[in-house]
Amino acid sequence: MREVIFDTETTGLDPKTGDRMVEIGCVEMIGRVETGRVYHAYFNPDRDMPVEAERVHGLSAAFLATKPRFAETAGELLEFLGDAPLVAHNAGFDFGFLNNELELAGREAVSLDRMVDTVAIARRKHPGAKLSLDALCTRYGIDRSHRVKHGALLDAELLAQVYVELTGGRQIGLGLLDGPAEISVTPGSGPAAPQDALWYRPATDKPRREPRPHAASPEELERHRAFMAGISGAIWAS
């Protein structure tokens, strides 16, 4: 099953009071395994950036002023999301901002039926425990040492690992790719990531090792026959 894990960064806490989404990061998973395909974009919110919000994610109004508005790239985002379930941490917050931006862009809202909230899953699995993304990364041994500030794509990548652990678990670091992926980028620059939007596609030209033979040699078969013949009272000999 295809699922998309996503995270957003915003100018504040409430889209109903004029706060806007300024960044989104999405990670594609199929069968709870990351495919290496992601979507990442910044948006010009056409408003100031409160100091408190900038301290969290490091995105300044000057940096965002050079980025496209959400309505200009909404089609690309919706194409990536498709009809997959959408997984987020405290998902009501992210869905609220995403659907607010879609409404402002004259687009249809994403159905809440597609919402998967990892906070709700974690609350059922670990009642009474801390449920922040940092706390869950610590619980499951997920490396977040590179997380200096919040960033939508980085947090979505961390959440993808947490989501797997919350829903059954697997060895940390297991993935489809052993080598680098092919990357296509839209140039840009900023404090949180080196590009405005990027897509990863798994490389298909990696060298493959030929299967090794596993059949027993004639000498091994003969030793096996001799061993079996030496067993007295064997039920297969009756």
For the chain, the domains span 2-207
Task: For residue 122, give every residue at least 6 positions away whose Cβ sits within 8 Å of its Cβ, in sequence order, or none.
Answer: 129, 131, 136, 162, 166
Mark the ranges of the chain whose per-residue pLDDT is less than 50.
171-206
Question: Are 196 and 171 spatial neighbours (Cβ–Cβ below 8 Å)?
Answer: no
Q: What is the pLDDT of residue 145?
A: 77
Q: What is the pLDDT of residue 216?
A: 79
Q: What is the pLDDT of residue 211?
A: 61
Classify residue 167 by its DSSP letter: T
Q: What is the pLDDT of residue 237?
A: 66
Closest to 90 measured CA to CA, from 121, 124, 111: 121
**What pLDDT digit, counting tens, does each position of 64-107 carry?**
999 999 999 999 999 999 999 999 999 999 999 999 999 999 99
**What pLDDT digit, counting tens, does each position of 12-23 carry?**
999 999 999 999
The model's pTM is 0.71
CA dihedral 86, 87, 91, 95 (to 10 degrees): -20
Q: Buried b vs exposed e over 113-131: b needs ≥16 C-beta within 10 Å?
A: ebbbbbbebbeeeeeeeeb
Q: What is the pLDDT of residue 105?
A: 97
Terminal C-alpha separation, the chain: 51
> What number of CA atoms fall less than 13 Å from residue 51's CA on the CB side?
0
Q: What is the pLDDT of residue 14?
A: 96
Q: Which fold has domain 2-207?
A: Nucleotidyltransferase; domain 5 (3.30.420)
Q: What is the pLDDT of residue 138?
A: 93
Question: Are 121 and 167 spatial neighbours (Cβ–Cβ below 8 Å)?
Answer: yes
Strand partners, 87: 5, 116
* Residues labelled as active-site residues: 150
Q: What is the pLDDT of residue 150?
A: 75
